[in-house]
Amino acid sequence: MVPDLVGKLRAAGYQVTVQAGAGSGALLFDPAYEVAGALVTEHPFDEADVVLSVQPLDANCLAPLPSGATTISFFPYAERPTDVALRRERKFTTFGMEYVPRISRAQSMDALSSQALVAGYRGAIVAADMLGQFFPLSMTAAGTVPPAQVVVLGAGVAGLQAIATCRRLGAVVKGYDVRAAAAEEIRSMGAQAIELPLPTLEGAGGYAREMTEDRAQRQRELLASYIAAADALITTAAVPGRRAPLLVTTEMIMQMAPGSVVIDLAAEAGGNVEGVVAGSVVRVGPVQLWGGANVPSQMPGPASRLYAQNVLNVIMLMTRDGRFAPDFDDEITSAMCVTHAGNVLHDGG
Ligand code: NAD
């Protein structure tokens, strides 16, 4: 939660308690929460009905929570079997922010989108920073500096934001995505849509489908010349519930000009680029390969602000007559609910 939104929670009928130091990583310090009307304490869990966080609470935080309390955070189900068992036993209600359905009524609660937006922006800025060249065309008395050539693979929320940011910085940008609708979206950002002679791959819910290995190989062959000509490559491709697709091999990177940069925003999900290491910069021949790790946290101000607004909107959905009273028949509430009243309602799939 950010101090600016504490007043909205209070106006809705809630008392707000903040763990001391909780916002300091985002330069949101305790006095700002107090001025906004929150109580700041070292022990916020003992009497909490609803706990808001980004990552799931660890066992130390869950222990003092009253039985039947509610938590709202990201909740990567598959990674937390012990946690799920404990939550069933203690009858906690668990809402996972990543399970907000992608329907228009839920857009204001969609934290995957808000955090992808931050990651896409950050990826473009890192590319511009690491590349020892101008992004914009510059015509001076001393001569012309050509604009940087950028390729963005994956044009969902993060990719489109990376494209838009690189365009604003003046680079010449090309984008590619397997979904048919993406080409028009890429063009609407002022970039060129790379069109490959391959079938599109639409899956359920507006997401992409996984590629077969044959298709992946063909796609890599067809993209190789675009990547070789790029000064900066930004990859953002993902398929829900799967390892990130491998779009770029070491051999392809080796064809890029010395000093080029590759930014892989899918590094934590296995990477779109061969050899990427999340949280590190790896040298591949003459090219630097940057692997994103918890990228939204590298822009803590906007990431916190947007996430807090998403969570506030979830709370408002679940508030009736000044009380926290989720309606489990509501499409958004039921999609988000992982555990409730001793049952597992959602297996993260
Ligand atoms: P995502 O993070 O799952 O994937 C990122 C992108 O990678 C997607 O555009 C996907 O098509 C692309 N991709 C997957 N495999 C690829 C491959 N082999 N090569 C190239 N690209 C590949 O997706 P996302 O950014 O979360 O959003 C995906 C879609 O959902 C978009 O159409 C977006 O507009 C839509 N969306 C809708 C809502 C809503 O209606 N509320 C909210 C957010 C996103």
| Residues facing 320 on adjacent strands | 323
- Choose among 100, 109, 79, 136: nearest CA to 331: 100
At 199, is the secondary structure helix, strand, or coil? coil
Centre of ligand 1 to C-alpha 210, Å, is: 12
Ligand 1 pocket, mutate which of 112, 115, 157, 218 (most atoms under 8 A from CB): 157
| Ligand 1 touching residue 296 (CB < 6 A) | no
Residue 36 has what DSSP assignment? Answer: T
At 240, the pLDDT band (50, 70, 90 cuts) reads: confident
Both tokens assigned to 196: 């490959």
pLDDT at residue 348 is higher than 70: no
Q: Are strands 39-41 and 17-19 parallel, antiparallel or unpaired?
A: parallel
What percent of the chain stands above pLDDT 90?
87
- Would you say 162 and 236 are in contact if contact means Cβ atoms under 8 Å apart? yes
The sign one gets for the Cα dihedral 43, 45, 50, 51 is positive
Phi and psi (nearest 5°) for 341?
50, 40
CA 171 – CA 177 distance, rounded (Å)? 19
- pLDDT tens column, 242-296: 899 999 999 999 999 999 999 999 999 999 999 999 999 999 999 999 999 999 9
- Per-residue confidence (pLDDT) for residue 204, from 0 to 100: 80
Nearest to residue 252, comparing CAs of 213, 219, 223, 281? 223
Q: According to the model, what pLDDT value does residue 77 have?
A: 83
Identify the pLDDT of residue 61.
92
Q: For residue 123, what pLDDT is reported?
A: 98
Can you point out the beta strands (E) in 87-201? 93-96, 138-140, 143-145, 149-153, 172-176, 192-193
**Alpha carbon of 296 to ligand 1 centroid (Å):** 17
pLDDT of residue 349 exceeding 70: no
Active site residues: 102, 107, 110, 113, 207
- Which residue's C-alpha comes closest to atom 11 of ligand 1? 208
Q: With 80 as the cut, is the pLDDT of residue 72 above it?
A: yes
Determine the pLDDT at residue 71.
97
Q: Are 249 and 220 in contact (CB under 8 A)?
A: yes
Burial status of residue 338 (CB atoms within 10 A of its CB: 0-12, 13-18, 19 or more): buried
Across the chain, what does the average pLDDT equal? 95
Backbone angles phi, psi at 251, to 5 degrees: -60, -40
Taking CA atoms only, the protein residue closest to ligand 1 atom 38 is 102
pTM of the model: 0.94
Residues with Cβ < 8 Å from 148, sequence gap 6 or more?
A: 128, 131, 133, 134, 135, 166, 170, 171, 172, 231, 232
Q: Is 105 in the pocket of ligand 1 (CB under 6 A)?
A: no
The CB of 156 under 6 Å from ligand 1? The reply is: yes
Which tens digits make up the pLDDT trace of 97-123?
999 998 999 999 999 999 999 999 999
Indicate whether residue 265 lines ligand 1 (CB < 6 A).
no
Tell me if 185 CB under 6 Å of ligand 1. no
Give mean pLDDT, residues 133-153: 97
* pLDDT band (50, 70, 90) for residue 88: very high
Please tell me if the CB atom of residue 112 comes closer than 6 angstroms to any atom of ligand 1.
yes
Q: Count CB atoms within 10 A of the CB of residue 52.
A: 22
Cα separation, 283 vs 262, whole angstroms: 10
Q: What is the DSSP letter of 99?
A: G
CA angle 291-296-301, nearest 5°? 140
Average pLDDT over residues 229-235: 98
CB 295 within 8 A of CB 123: yes
Per-residue model confidence as pLDDT tens digits over 163-218: 999 999 999 999 999 999 999 999 999 999 999 999 999 888 778 888 899 999 99
Residue nearest (by alpha carbon) to ligand 1 atom 25: 156
